[in-house]
Amino acid sequence: MRCLYLVQELAPYFAEGGLGQAARALPELLQRDHGIEHDLLVPYYPWLVAERGLRTEEVARLPGIRIAGVTAEATVERVLNHDGSCDVFLLRADVWYDREGIYRDGRYVEFADATARAAFFGWAAARWAEVSGRTYDLVHGNDWQSGAALAHLRRARGSAARPALLMNVHNGAYAGEVGVAEVAGLGLPDAFREPFLTAARGRPSLLLAGLLAADAATTGSPGYARELRAELAGSPLGDVLEPLALTGIVAGVDERVWDPAAPGRLATPFDRDAVTPGKRANKRALQHLAALREDPDVPLFGVCARLVPEKGVDLMLTALGPRLLDGTAQLVVVGSGDTAYTRALAELRRSAPGAVHHLPRFDHDVASLVYAGSDFTLMPSRVEPCGLNQLIAMAYATVPLVSAVGGLRDTVSELRGAPQEGTGFRFAALTAQAVEDTVADAVRWLGSSPGEVERTRRRLMGQDWTWHRTARETARLYEQVVAHD
């Protein structure tokens, strides 16, 4: 079986979050361990290609097309020096992709022509599938940016069974919505446009286009699959999603990237057998690096996340604020996001010297030390289709405090009442008070039950939330989707 994997990010070269990590790990394992050959098609971001030192060779030149008033040609270039075994192809069209960000500008504002860019990517992806000389049994499209691609591929295959089309909905809150009047300028196939607008009922989006074209759909966890079906029921997206039997598969942690026992990073390596001294050494190192008061007993919360409303950043700051101000807790945050939250963190840092540190960009070495040195991670997410941060945290013996939504519910079990089995703390409700109450319980537990804390940390490190498990489930899904066609 051969799969074409369509995605906007690919770690470690161009990535903003979990999608890039998934694109790096999952196709590699599906190819290596399950015999499913993968080609990846990713946009060519000129500044990142140069910054990462990637070398490419042109393998195809695609004709020009006019999308949203912009006429552009494209080339497809194969990456010659990446570190994986799959073929990686970059779609180069500088008029669309020579910008300072992958999705957003320097002020963290989404590009105004984001849907037009995705429409161009979709057209070009379908053309590449036709001229590549490769026969694909399956095309795996990630998020709404791949929606137009599936629409073009559905038209191109006609009555044939191949390629089967799989739509991966990483977050249903992002749909790539467009105005009805804009649809005609997106270059979608003529025969697709009328059923698409009929299904949209005045609310067209590129996610809807992808789902309408797809043979099956998947998302980041069984819990989020249930939530998404319920949330979208009765809507155009819900009506199109219903017959696709949405499958939830929890994403994984790439142990090549996130390995607490690996040397060579800021963190001191440790394993299950040395969890207590390892956590202690890394906490000391993290406090020093972040210019926090060096105290082994103060609870330290580490958060690596985008600072956006859906992550519950407001709840986190409200719940932790009093403890940070009186010195009974510390907070290290790694991640960029909304200006309001970065300002709030800056104000907290001024008001609580030695208790707060914020790195407003992702740095892998710093993040590994945050996971290794923190006692807790805090995730009061309003929506969390899967969540990788809690999985990485647990691999580093850091206890997660999470909301009971989506993949967080599927991967974190409650310690209170089940100290021999639990893996974290869940908020009773998604309110600042509930988060504050849970923080208080976790802090008491940390200070009063050292034996239980060590046993829990060892238990966290013994779980299997790696991509190997994800790949096994995804391989089964691929086989079902291809066989169904």
Is 194 domain-assigned?
yes
Regarding whether 398 and 282 lie in a shared domain, the answer is yes
Regarding whether 32 and 145 lie in a shared domain, the answer is yes
pLDDT for res 254: 85
Q: What is the mean pLDDT of residues 81-108?
A: 92
pLDDT for res 159: 79
Q: Considering only 87-96, 191-200, 259-268, 467-476, which range has the smallest mean pLDDT?
A: 259-268
Residues 219-273 pLDDT 10s? 999 999 999 999 999 999 999 999 998 999 999 988 888 999 998 778 899 999 9
Residue 485 has pLDDT above 70, yes or no: no
* Count of structural domains, the chain: 2
Is 394 domain-assigned?
yes
Regarding whether 349 and 210 lie in a shared domain, the answer is no
Residue 105 has pLDDT above 90, yes or no: no
Residues 383-404 pLDDT 10s? 999 998 999 999 999 999 999 9
Alpha carbon distance 159, 191 (integer Å):
14
Is 259 domain-assigned?
no
**CATH number of the CATH domain containing 424:** 3.40.50.2000
Regarding whether 315 and 441 lie in a shared domain, the answer is yes
pLDDT band at 17 (very low <50, low <70, confident <90, very high): confident
Regarding whether 418 and 312 lie in a shared domain, the answer is yes
Regarding whether 220 and 344 lie in a shared domain, the answer is no
Regarding whether 449 and 476 lie in a shared domain, the answer is no
Q: What is the mean pLDDT of residues 348-374?
A: 94
- Bond from prior residue into 163 cis (ω within 30 degrees of 0): yes
Q: What is the mean pLDDT of residues 340-353?
A: 95
Regarding whether 369 and 239 lie in a shared domain, the answer is no
Is 258 domain-assigned?
no
* Residue 245 φ/ψ region, left for φ over 0, alpha for ψ in the -120 to 50 degree band, beta for the rest: left
Is 301 domain-assigned?
yes
Is 265 domain-assigned?
no
Calculate the CA dihedral of residues 372, 374, 379, 385 and round it to 10 degrees.
10
- Bond from prior residue into 12 cis (ω within 30 degrees of 0): yes
Regarding whether 105 and 29 lie in a shared domain, the answer is yes
CB 294 within 8 A of CB 373: no
Comparing CA positions, the residue from 25, 323, 5 lying closest to residue 136 is 5
Alpha carbon distance 124, 334 (integer Å):
35
Alpha carbon distance 334, 373 (integer Å):
13
Regarding whether 11 and 111 lie in a shared domain, the answer is yes
Regarding whether 381 and 246 lie in a shared domain, the answer is no
Residues 36-76 pLDDT 10s? 999 999 999 999 999 999 999 999 999 999 999 999 999 99
Residue 466's contacts (CB-CB under 8 Å, 6 or more residues apart) are 252, 253, 254, 255
Is 206 domain-assigned?
yes
Is 159 domain-assigned?
yes
Regarding whether 40 and 187 lie in a shared domain, the answer is yes
Residue 319 has pLDDT above 70, yes or no: yes
**Complete DSSP assignment for 199-251:** HHTT--BHHHHHHHH-SEEEES-HHHHHHHHHHHTTSHHHHHHGGG--EE---
Residue 314: CB atoms within 10 Å: 17
Q: Residue 361 is part of which domain span?
A: 272-464
